[in-house]
Amino acid sequence: MPERVLVVIDEAYNEYLPPELKAETVQWLKRHPNLIVTRTFSKAYGLAGLARRLRARAPVGRRHR
C-alpha cells in the first residue's frame, strides 16, 4: 500500500479470534506510519441499544391485564 493511503484496522472483535488468527497489529505501527489501529466500542453500542429496547417493552407502574 502506498504511504499516501491511510489504512485503518478495526479490532472490535479481535478477542473472539482464536490465537492462531490474531496478528500483532500494534507492532505494525512502527513500520507503517499510514496505519491506524482502532478497537471500537461497536459491541457496547449494540448492547446499549438492546438494553434500551428491552426497557421500552417492560411494563411501568401497575400490571396491565
| Three-state SS sequence of the chain | CCCCCCEEEECCCHHHCCHHHCCCHHHHHHHCCCEEEECCCHHHHHHHHHHHHHHHHCCCCCCCC
Q: What is the mean pLDDT of residues 40-65?
A: 60
User: All 3 cell numbers of residue 45?
Assistant: 453500542
What is the chain's mean pLDDT, rounded? Answer: 77
Q: Write out the three cell numbers for 38.
A: 482502532
- Residues 7-37: pLDDT tens digits? 999 888 888 889 999 888 989 999 999 999 9
Taking residues 29-50, what's their average pLDDT? 77
The total of other beta-carbon atoms located within 10 Å of residue 55's CB is 9
What is the pTM assigned to this prediction? 0.54
